[in-house]
Structures are given as structure tokens and as C-alpha cells.
Structure 1
Amino acid sequence: MWCRLSALVLRTGYLWAACAATVLALPAGADPADGDEFTTLKGHGGPVMALAVSPEGQVATGSFDNAVGLWSDRTPRWLEAHDAAVTALAFVDAGRLVTAGDDFALYLWPKGGQQAELIGRHLGKIRALAIAPDREMLVSASWDGNIGLWPFDGGAEQRIAVGSGINDVSIGPGGAIYAATMEGQILVYEDAGQPPRRLVDQGFGINQLALGPGGHWLAYGAVDGATRVVDTQTGEPVADFTLERRPILAMAHHEGTARLAVGDGQGYIMMVDTETWRISADFRATHDGPVWALEFAPDGQTIWAAGLDDLAYGWPVALMGEAEAQMAGNRGFLKDPETMPNGERQFMRKCSICHALGPGESCKAGPSLYDVFGRPAGTLAGYRYSQVLDGSDIIWGEATIDALFDLGPDHYIPGSKMPMQRITDPQDRRDLIAFLKRATKVEK
């Protein structure tokens, strides 16, 4: 997936070096050995939605393509067990990784192993993971309204019923669990068997949490664009960095450098100095689209970021604000609708993240649609289908594709991995089918 640098091009005062999976952007005259370089991890077949970095600096990426990339020496090892987008990652230690996602499942991957252990399942999508400071327990946050507690020593799992969908969790030094809810509350569970303490109730859903050193302060980011810091004992405000950008989608804290990174839906990364409580950098990281995930390298000198691209970006903190936006964020479904015929537009919006049109292997979440007309469902070699499609009598053609989007995959093929979506306008379905017949046709 990686290649050596082959060319340098002078552009707008920066030296750019590009290859299939690495891009460097240095101030003109800078020495690459200084470490001020942009690094991209390329190979996923869909947007990267989750990031984790081990204490040794190994990066893990989770994607809409259902896969996890575990990167060593700039080479990915693909971990494949999930049946839907991977949205949460956490390193237990240097070797073990926990993954979770939209298939409600949690997996533990052993050091160097390809076979994952199923830890358990929620009844809804899993949005966040946290590892206890003693490394003996995993905590999960789910939209099913429950916090999951999963001991690594084989003990019985526990559930804390919150009642509202949970977007994020953090664990304090004393074991207190902080939960961010869709209803705009931060609830603190000092004892799993006791009612929680309500730390924040701000009315808009809270997406992200970042707990400060010693658990003395807690930063949170919300749907309405709020970025605030509160005292964990009293709930009193410590700082407020709310800007006219929404929603807040990502947060990362690095204790050693006293930095708090905040990513939002408009593609900005804001860096806050947590010693002075001042904004030290605020810049647009992506040309279009959101920043979905952030994570610091162990030394705090690099911030890993991900969004709509099929890549993860390693951004030198020292260059924030000095270089152009690196993340493209311009997926096909964000193109100007006037530039595409309706059938292509329907494909870009409904299908392109999961499905390729050409021959050969695809690392996207769904199978390639090349030569799909006349193909029995569940039969493309090399793709791991859901059990419901094994032995299916569906033959893909105009009538079956029309029914798929008319009824929706959840009704037409209950139990399949396809996300729930419909195309209700019959003309839109006809245009999509006509486009697919042209775009997936086998070349003679």
C-alpha cells in the first residue's frame, strides 16, 4: 500500500511529495528529517470513522467498509470480523485491540492474531469504547441506551441502563464512568448499582467527552456546536470555546503537551491549550465534509485525523495553520448534482460508498456490481455475504433491483448487511437501473 517518494513539486511555497499512500507537505527549504511531515494511511474502501493509537504509536483505523486497518511500518494488516461500519476502537495495551461498530458487536483481537474473540453484543449501534485505567475492564456506549461493562478476566458482563442513546463514555481515575447522552446530559456513575449524578444538562445531544488529568475537568462537544469544559465535581464552567460551527464530532486530549483537539462537522480542527485555556490553533483541515475522528500520537507532536476520505491523516501539530487543508472530503455524493445525470446521482448518493462498478477485487463494504445483471444474489466469489443471502433465489435484474429500493433492503432482504434506505420515486429507480446497466456491463 505504500511506496517510496518519487517526485517533489513546488506548489504555493511548499514542497509536496506524493505516492499511493503518503503525502508530505513541508515549508519550502525544510528538511524532511525534521519530522514535519503529513502522512496518509491509504487502503480502506470507505470513509474512516474511528481511530486509535497504541502507547507505542501503532495506528488502528476503522471504516465504513466494515474493516479495521492495523498499521505497522506503514503497512496495513486487515482485521475483518464486523458486518457493518466500524465506529469505535480502543487499544487494551500494546498488542490487544478492541473493535466495535454498527453491527452491535464487540471483538477483542489478540496480539499478532487474525482470529478475533467475540466479547459480546449490544442491541444497538456502538458509538464509543473506553478502557479502565487498570486495563482490567472495557466500557462501551451504545444507542440501545445501555453502558456495557466487560471484564477482561472472564467475569460476568454488566449493563447500566441509561434510558437514552449514549454517544461517548470516559472513565475517571477512581473508576467513575462519565456518559454523554443524546438528550444532552452528562451522567456520572460512581457506583454501577446507584443512580447517576447529573453533571451537565444542556438540552442538545452531546457527542464527545475528554477527561482531563486526574479527572479534575471534563471537556464535551455537542450537536449545537458547543465546546465546553466543566469541573467534574461541581459541574461549574471552566472554559467555553463554542464557535459558529456544528456539530462537534471528535475530541482528543494529550496530557503531556496539555492539548485538546476538537473536530467539527464543517471540517475544522481547533487546538486548545489546557494550561492557559486559550485556542492555540484553529484551521480548516478538509476542503469539504466533517472531521469524524481525532487521536494524538504518544508524543503529542502528531494528530491523526479522519473524515469522509478513505484515508487517515497524520498531521504535525507544529504545522497547524501553516499549511493548506489536506483532507479532500469530496466524495462523489457531494458533487454538484447538476454535473451528473439522475441515474448516476442516485448511485453516488445511495450506493457508491459500499459498491464498486468495475471488475476485480474491491475493498468496499459491499460486493462489486460489475456484471451484476443476471447474477444470483450472494454468489460473487471472495465476498463474505451475510447468511441470509446464502442459497437465496434472488436473481439481480431490473425487477429485483427496483423492488430492493422500493421496499428497502431491511424489508426486501431482512437480515442482510445492506443499510436501511429507499428510493421512493419510481423515476429515480428507473434512472438508477438504467445507469447500472450501462456502468456494470461486461466489456466484450
Structure 2
Amino acid sequence: MRVQQGLERRYRQEKRFQRMGLGAIILGLVFVSFLFISIFANGYTAFQQTYVKLDVDFDPEMIAPVGETDPDLLSQANYGGLVKKTLREMFPEVTSRREKKVLYNLISSGASFQLREMVMQDPALIGTRQSVWLVADDDVDMLIKGHIDLNVPESDRRIKNNQMVWIQSLQADDRIEKHFNTTFFTAGDSREPELSGIKGAVFGSFFTLLICLLISFPVGVAAAVYLEEFAPKNRWTDIIEVNINNLAAVPSIVFGLLGLAVFINFFGLPRSVPLVGGLVLALMTLPTIIIASRAALKSVPPSIREAALGVGASPMQTVTHHVLPLAMPGMLTGTIIGMAQALGETAPLLMIGMVVFIVDIPGGPFDPSAVLPVQIYLWADSPERAFVERTSAAIMVLLAFLISMNLLAVWLRKKFERRW
């Protein structure tokens, strides 16, 4: 009887523990779902951009004489004046200087560069009148996307009443549309939200991770092979193993301080370049790669080593020809996870100066650049509402990269894993 009661009590405790574990999993999924839904709700509109169609008169007096193709002359023309002239012709009732300034704000300052590129590519446009879709200002973009509340007083919103009248007139003439925001993927950073993109940050992240991979993978694998296969078991190797395990738990900003002190202050390497960022991230990911590689080497059965040694292979041949190929899938999995961790790091890169405002797209690891997490940090600190959606959209792109890298690691483990 007492045994039966004890069994029933243990069964109840086991079911209670299972329910608690299931509740913890459900709670975690709810929070993660809430996070993802919040990011998507704020960021999906950034993949579209508002454009305004204007009938632009490419006046030769404002650009260059018809037939003139000198690139220097064409590049210095007053293309912003063309946009302003077109707006004045469309709204002739706007006469005061203040109202004209407000009217010009309907179109992005980048519209002049758009017209410039058109003329530079086709000088035959000079002297013609063309219907051109130009990028709208970020405030107009936010209004069209429904992010501006028109019920608040005019003094509390960025779109004024007279601008609303002009925008409604343009909408009535089908001159306002939303198109896919290619600028977000093809441009670098900008002070204007409607002109900003992630291409520079993506290239910076690519070069940074490339340097990190080229350094951390061979060094990490070599260290793991030596410690696991060749190093004598004594006090010094124990100290090294303990320090490697401890380094895996060190806050990432400490590696940033180390990179600032060693690579920049001591060696004099330039700030804000992917080379230094890759070196810092390589130091940070080395412990992860070494630990994962050692675990992969331990998973290879001793019989593989014994059989190779038994037929006359040297210890080095045993490792390189038999043990290492079998352990490589696990090593690659650990490396991909380490690279995914490095891709999302911000703190160490802030310490080495990769937080500066950089417009140009980097052409190599020695060019100044930002990285995707730092770009998100910079946009999140901007006051404009348009940067909020671009921040969330950049987070979505970063999460897509991270999820893809983790799925690749899982796929590699499933495909090449050998069970003994």
C-alpha cells in the first residue's frame, strides 16, 4: 500500500514537472513570436518606397546646350532646379517663398541625383519633356504608408495642411505610387531615410566575416588537433584548456578593448576597416571553434586511430587521412555557429570605431565601412520615423542571414554526421 502511494506521488511529480517544462517552452515561444511579429509589423513597409510622377522639362538652359555631352558640364547642372521648376508649374497658386519651400519638401533631395544619372546615361534627354517617377520625401512616404496620424494638431505632425492638399491633388491625378524599394538593397547609408540602404553594411559584414573565417578556422582547427591528438597531458595543457573554456564566456566588449589596444593603438592599423573587425571577431570566435572541433575529434572512435596505426601509418598520417576527415562535419558546424555569432556582434566593433557614418560601398577589407549590426544601431538612434521601419527591416535581413547560417549548420550535421 505504501509502495503504491509512493509510486502515485512520484508519477504526479513527474507529470507536474513535464507540465512545467511544456509551459516554459510555450512561454518562450510566445515571447519569441511577439518579438518577430513586432519586428515584421514595423519593418515590412520599408521594402516599399513612395514615388511621385513629375513631368520634368529637361531645359537646355538649366543643363547644357542640346548636343553637349561633356560629362563634367552635365554633372554640374542644376538638376534640383528642374524639380523645383516642375513643382511650381504644377501648383501655380503657390507664390510665397515659405510655401514654395514647403512644396519643394514633397520630393526627396535625392531626386536631383536621379535626374543627373538619367542625363549622364542619355544626353539626348536634354530639350525633351519626360514623365519621371521621383523619390518622395520620407514624411510623404510615412503619410502614404499610414504612419502619420492626421487627427493630431498640425503643429504636432510633420505633414502640414497645405502639403496634405497638394498630396491629395497628386493622388487624384494618379501621380503617387508605392514601388519596391530597390534603394534599400543597392545604396549605402544616408542622412535621408528614403535614400538609405544596407548595401554598404552588408559588404562590410561580408569582408569582416571573410577575414574572421580565414584566421579563426585554420587556427582553431590546428589548436584543437594539437590539444586533442598530440599535446601531452600535464599541468600546462590543463591551464590552456581551462583558459580556452573561460574565454568562450568572456563578454564580447572585452575583445573589442583588446583589439583597440593591440591592433589600433599598438600596431597602428586604421580604424573602421573590416580587417581590424575581422581580427577582433576571430579572437572572439576562436574558443567556440576550438571547443566544437575538440568535441568532433573526441567523437571519432579510438578504433579508427588504432587501425591506422596498426597498418603502419604515422600519428600525423592517422590524423590527417582518417581522424580529421571524419571530424570535419562537426568542425564545420561549430565554425558556422561561431560565424553566426560573429555576424550579430556589435559591442567589439563599436570599440574599434566601426560606428562612423560611411556612405561609400567598401571595395575591400581595407576600406572604411560599417557592418549590419552597427548599421542597425545607428538607425535605431535616429529620430525620424522612417528610420524606425528601416531599422526593423535591417533586423529582418540580419535574422534571415542568422537563421540561414544555423539551418546550414543543422543540414551539414545531418548530412555528414556518422553514428558509431
TM-score range, shorter chain: under 0.3
Per the normalisation by structure 2, the TM-score is 0.24
**Which has more radius of gyration?**
2
More helix by share: 2
Q: Could you tell me the TM-score, scaled by structure 1's length?
A: 0.23
In proportion to residue count, which structure has more strand?
Answer: 1
